[in-house]
Chain A
Amino acid sequence: MTATSAYQESTATRRRSDLRARRSWRTTKNDLMTGLMIGAVALVAIPLVAVMWSVIARGAAIAFQHFPDFFTAAVPVVSRAPGPGMGPAILGTLLVTGGATLIAVPIGILGAVYLHEYGANKQLARLVRFMATVMTGVPSVVMGLFVYLIWTLTFGYSAFGGALALACLMLPVVIGATEQMLRLVPSQLREAAYALGTTKSRTILTVVLPAALPGIVSGALLAVARAAGETAPLLFAVGAAHEFNLHLFSEANTALSVQIFANANSSFTASQDRAWAAALTLVLLTFVVTLVARLFTARLALKR
């Protein structure tokens, strides 16, 4: 055999033993599905880009004109007058959403801990689990009404009332997401901790929760993002102020979501401009919060 023909023969052999799957209906199906998944991503990207485009195009000019005027000035009293000012609304959103998060997230995590670690399949746990899912379907306007009846009627308008309403909206999402995540923590981790003599509560706090942390934070962030954008409950519980109000428990306040709703639905371009700028502000604010939270948890979580 000559050198060249031997080479030719060995490459032929190499080609024949190419281990990649030969084209068949299975590979076609695989490619089709991959294509569909990429398509799904594209479908999601479209509305996102479109909405962000609208928000930025209409809002950026006003929001960043004479920075930081827009973020610190008070809301113009006369809504059809041009000019900046969403400062009190930003403060209000922070107060109301922050308050709601402080209430809903710890309670939600604790509740999920009960459901998965203590309750398992007991009657009470099954009932609570079911009801938590039902609670996600309560419309925000009904929550607002509820808080109006039990809080605002007695204590008047306040940021806390809004926080209560939003917390009620956030709670089931946090519980639901957290419980899913707890379910996925492998039991070996728990068993190892028990074997070392750790009490149940300590195991949960130091082993289970950190293991589930990224997922819990995802759920919490979803809840926070929703709460920050809710309008209806705040209209019932918070009132409508246009100046800065630092007090959590007294006096009417305002929030970005309320301002967006009130102004965007107006015939006057000055109001509309402010509404879009407020929308941009809200998106930026919430996005920064989610970014920070995710970066933070990347550090705290147990490495998978």
Chain B
Amino acid sequence: MYKMIAVSALAALCVAAGCKKKDDGGAGGSASPMTKEDKGADKAPESGGAVTINGSGSTFQKPYQEIALDTFTKANAGVKINYGGGGSGKGRQDLADQVVDFAGADSPYKDADLAKNKGGDVLYFPILLGAITVSFNVAGVDKLQLSAATIAKIFQRDIKKWNDKDIAADNPGAKLPDADIVVAHRSDGSGTTDNFTKYLDKAAKDVWKLKSGATVEWPSDTQAGNGNPGVAQIVKSTPGAVGYVDLSDAKASGLKFATVKNQAGKFIEPTADSASAAGDGIDVKDNLLFSALDPGGDAAYPITYQSWVIVYAKQTDHAKGAALKSYLKYLVSDAQAQLKSLDFAPLPKGLADKAVAQLDKIQVP
């Protein structure tokens, strides 16, 4: 009896010892493979000297990260890249704790939090722009025009019916039904919510009362969905629904979206091109931080937002730092061509150049 226990304990220890190989944050992920679970699955080739870079954060930029790292790793055999999503806040936190090598975020660190970053100063690299649609599902209505003030009133439930005079004023001549509006928003914290509400804060200053943030205190007679797809699903399946969904997910779900009035007074449809046009009208700071919301320009879609990749200026590992720099360069230059197919907008030329120039500020040992 005791023999059996002793033998199995010993076996377990051997197995554990055989697997125990802590990757010391550098090249070399090879270790003696585990002898247990081996269901004939394909194994990745033992990569001697491979570098792995981990990132996490904004789910908004995740589709871009996926395509970019796929092509990049195929072209650079020695590099493995993982991007985990999880939200801009998580990304910023993970980078602060140095659990990841880069963070994806739709908004920058708050000043108070900068001091908590274990690795020192950070650099922001903008990588894309994208549009947030105001998607709707109203029987008999195919086109809808909305101004910022109307959107604000709808989402804070000042306007409760589709044939309200404010909506009618935005859509002269349109036939709007006497139906209830069902507002859909996010149940989870989100950069999309953050930027959508920031837009309303800016463009509908005197009307919007709910303030801005990744989570907002929505009125209780609204519905919440998980993630952009969750909101899209509510809009799609509920007659009379309206919600804010990013362009990619809105298109994939087959939703109809409104044209929104921009600063120049024109009603613009959300597309990759109109998001690009928004990029032309923005004011970029030296550290490459900016806001693309409610920009100037005739063709600009007003609810356009941006995403950055954040890294530490001072890298601690040569192989990882070099790989990271190379990947970042790819993200802000060659990979940009793939953005349109994802319904994102590439960076305006001037901004992309500045991003490439900022790469020099990364110090690799």
Interface residues on chain A, number (Cβ under 8 Å): 43
Find out whether the CB atom of B85 lies under 8 angstroms from the CB atom of A262. Answer: yes
CB-defined contacts of B52 to chain A, threshold 8 Å: 251-252
User: Closest CB-CB distance, B29 to chain A, in whole Å?
Assistant: 6
Q: In chain A, residues 226-264, which have Cβ atoms closer than 8 Å to a Cβ of chain B? A: 235, 239-252, 262
CB-defined contacts of B36 to chain A, threshold 8 Å: 98
Interface residues on chain B, number (Cβ under 8 Å): 50
Task: Using A95-B37, A202-B1 as known contacts, say yes or no to A157 and B54 having CB atoms under 8 A apart.
Answer: yes
Question: Is B126 in the interface zone, CB < 8 Å from A?
Answer: no
CB-defined contacts of B70 to chain A, threshold 8 Å: 77-78
Chain A at the B interface: mostly helix, strand, loop or mixed? loop
* Bound: A122/B232 CA distance, A: 57
Question: Is A205 in the interface zone, CB < 8 Å from B?
Answer: yes
B residues in contact (CB < 8 Å) with A:
1, 5, 12, 16, 19-23, 25, 29, 31, 33-34, 36-37, 39-44, 52, 54, 56, 62-63, 66-67, 69-70, 73, 80, 82-86, 97, 99, 226-230, 232, 248-249, 252-253
* Bound: A248/B252 CA distance, A: 37
Q: Which of B43, B69, B228, B249 contacts A246 (CB 8 A)?
A: B43
Find out whether the CB atom of A243 lies under 8 angstroms from the CB atom of B66. Answer: no
Find out whether the CB atom of A98 lies under 8 angstroms from the CB atom of B1. Answer: no
CB-defined contacts of A287 to chain B, threshold 8 Å: none
* Bound: A247/B30 CA distance, A: 9
* Bound: A153/B97 CA distance, A: 7
- Which chain A residue has the least Cβ–Cβ distance from B19? A248
User: Closest CB-CB distance, B268 to chain A, in whole Å?
Assistant: 23
Q: Which of A73, A78, A156, A267 contacts B67 (CB 8 A)?
A: A78
* Bound: A63/B44 CA distance, A: 21
Find out whether the CB atom of B252 lies under 8 angstroms from the CB atom of A239. Answer: no
For this complex, 17 residue pairs linking A to B, each with C-beta atoms less than 8 Å apart, are A77-B69, A78-B67, A80-B63, A87-B41, A90-B41, A94-B37, A98-B37, A239-B54, A242-B82, A246-B19, A247-B19, A247-B29, A249-B19, A249-B22, A251-B23, A266-B227, A267-B249
Find out whether the CB atom of A244 lies under 8 angstroms from the CB atom of B41. Answer: yes
CB-defined contacts of B83 to chain A, threshold 8 Å: 240
User: Closest CB-CB distance, B38 to chain A, in whole Å?
Assistant: 9
Task: Using A78-B66, A242-B82 as known contacts, say yes or no to A267 and B1 having CB atoms under 8 A apart.
Answer: no
Task: Using A87-B42, A246-B34, A265-B230 as known contacts, say yes or no to A240 and B20 having CB atoms under 8 A apart.
Answer: no
9 additional A-B pairs beyond A240-B82, A240-B83, A244-B44, beta carbons within 8 Å, are A72-B40, A72-B42, A77-B69, A78-B63, A79-B63, A152-B99, A246-B19, A267-B252, A268-B252
Find out whether the CB atom of B226 lies under 8 angstroms from the CB atom of A240. Answer: no
A residues in contact (CB < 8 Å) with B:
71-74, 77-80, 87, 90-91, 94-95, 98, 102, 152-153, 155-157, 202, 205-206, 235, 239-252, 262, 265-268
* Bound: A240/B34 CA distance, A: 20
Find out whether the CB atom of B66 lies under 8 angstroms from the CB atom of A247. Answer: no
Find out whether the CB atom of B41 lies under 8 angstroms from the CB atom of A240. Answer: no
